[in-house]
Amino acid sequence: MIPAKFDYVRAGSADEAVALIAQHGDEAKFLAGGHSLLPLMKLRLAQPTVLVDIGRLTDLSYIRDAGDHIAIGALTRHRDVETSDVLKSQVPILPVAASYVGDPQVRHRGTIGGSVAHSDPASDLPATLLALNASFVAKGGSGERVIAAKDFFTGFLESALAADELLTEIRVPKTPGTAWGFQKFNRRAQDWAIVGVAAARSNGTGGIALVNMGMTPIFAQSATDAWLGGASPAEAAELAVAEAEPSADLNATVEYRNHLAKVLTRRALESAS
């Protein structure tokens, strides 16, 4: 389909991008890689009147060791996350999860910030960052604020970002030597997950998060508590869906999704062991 009519402006910096959004109001949207927004526009599920292109802002594309965490610029491509030596040594689950995003063409264009800001519960990276207890830096007209991943995803394709805010950075705690596992079940390679699971544990802390098991990425608190408390992978996996609210679609019934979540959680925890 053809998107509704819109105006287009290109930002030269993050500050200019924030100013342009403030100028054009709630109907303006940021455009980076476009892999999340443009399909919605073609279906007319999103009809922004102005697109603010931030795809060429080099100051938001980086992966840096920032002491107790790794800082990732919001415009960092999935491929750069997938191949980062820093992430492979300090947060090894994240490059693996990034390798499951789409196909090589998508990974060379799509950005981690776009995936996070889009807040799709079927996307791999939001749930992985939720399991890692990441935080997100948002920049708006009133300054910067840091939002914990557990507070960021508020509803289906909705986040805690204000209309005039730009996601600028993802901060991921370092977890060298961590125990982790990532599992994804889909019908075909490169499809969205029917169900996915990300699990990571280090120094007595950790998390288990589910992909496509609710209106948002789901933090499996009950399963996490059991796992950190010494339960076996099978025992913890039985609690995987305690906080989930899956829905049925053409790919799976609710019962099938619940079954998959338990199986994949057990496999992820066994891998982490």
* Residue 2 included in any domain: no
Residues β-bridged to residue 170: 72, 136
Type of residue numbered 60: L
Q: How far is CA 48 from CA 13, 27, 74, in A?
A: 21, 5, 21
Q: Is 67 exposed, middle or buried (0-12, 13-18, 19+ CB in 10 A)?
A: exposed
* Residue 76 included in any domain: yes
* Residue 1 included in any domain: no
Can you tell me which residue has the tokens 């991921």? 172
Q: Show the domain range for 133.
A: 58-173
Read off the CATH number of the domain in which 28 is found.
Answer: 3.30.43.10
71 and 139 fall within a common domain: yes
223 and 154 fall within a common domain: no
62 and 49 fall within a common domain: no
Read off the CATH number of the domain in which 191 is found.
Answer: 3.30.390.50
* Residue 195 included in any domain: yes
Can you tell me which residue has the tokens 């992820």? 268
CA distance 104 to 218: 27
Q: How many distinct structural domains can be found in the chain?
A: 3
73 and 153 fall within a common domain: yes
- In this structure, the number of other CB atoms found within 10 A of the CB of residue 59 comes to 12
Residue by residue, pLDDT tens for the chain (273 residues) are: 788 898 899 999 888 988 988 888 778 888 887 777 888 888 887 888 888 989 888 899 999 999 999 999 999 999 999 999 999 999 999 999 999 998 888 899 899 999 999 999 999 999 999 999 999 999 998 899 999 999 999 999 999 999 889 999 999 999 877 899 999 999 877 678 999 999 999 888 999 999 999 999 999 999 999 999 999 999 999 999 999 999 999 999 999 999 999 999 999 999 997
Indicate the residue among 173, 189, 215 that finishes a domain. 173
CA-nearest of 222, 195, 221 to 210 is 195
83 and 164 fall within a common domain: yes
Indicate the residue among 53, 68, 89 that finishes a domain. 53
**7-10 vs 50-53, strand pairing mode:** parallel
Which tokens sit at 10?
């290109």
CA-nearest of 200, 241, 250 to 218 is 241
Read off the CATH number of the domain in which 143 is found.
Answer: 3.30.465.10
* Residue 90 included in any domain: yes
188 and 223 fall within a common domain: yes
139 and 97 fall within a common domain: yes
* Residue 235 included in any domain: yes
Under DSSP, the state recorded for 116 is: H
31 and 124 fall within a common domain: no
Which tokens sit at 65?
């060791």
* Residue 12 included in any domain: yes
* Residue 183 included in any domain: yes
134-147 burial by CB neighbour count: b if 16+ within 10 A, else e?
Answer: bbbbbbbeeeeeeb
